Amino acid sequence: MYTALTDDIQVSVFPEFLADRSEPKNDRYFWAYTIEIANRGRLRVQLISRYWQITDANGRVEEVRGLGVVGEQPVLEPGESFRYTSGCPLATSSGIMTGSYRMVDDTERSFEVEIPAFSLDSPQAKRVLN
């Protein structure tokens, strides 16, 4: 699990390699990731948009921007959380994802919430020790 806290919004990420959706001999690897967004503050917030930076093991970077997540722009009251699962394909056996959510609170303040960087590692990934 990977976790970050920004402005009382906690984002936790649980990545999982999906062998049954991957084809290593064809350089196709697939991960699911479940994200939980928890409002630890005192104001209601709404997730407006997302930004992802996905980097594969060859250093190729893809950026993804869009409204909401999985077709929703969830509203979180204080103490509430929202959980969703999505996926990421890569042409390499490992990579890393990071990003942010654009949120707005009850006072109409707009702010960025960090999505913690998390690794995408398959059983085929070469392990490197530093």
128, pLDDT greater than 70: no
pLDDT of residue 127: 58
Q: Which domains does the chain have, with CATH numbers?
A: 2-120 (2.60.40.1470)
Q: How confident is the model at residue 18 (pLDDT cuts 50, 70, 90)?
A: very high
- For the chain, percent of residues with pLDDT exceeding 70: 95
Top pLDDT among 125 and 72 is at 72
Burial track 54-89 (b if 16+ CB lie within 10 A, e otherwise): bbbbeeeeeeeeeebbeeeebebeeeeebeeeeebe
130, pLDDT greater than 80: no
pLDDT of residue 124: 72
pTM: 0.92
Tens of pLDDT, residues 68-105: 999 999 999 999 999 999 999 999 999 999 999 999 99
d(CA 48, CA 18): 29
Query: Pick from 66, 65, 69: which is nearest to 47 by CA?
Result: 69
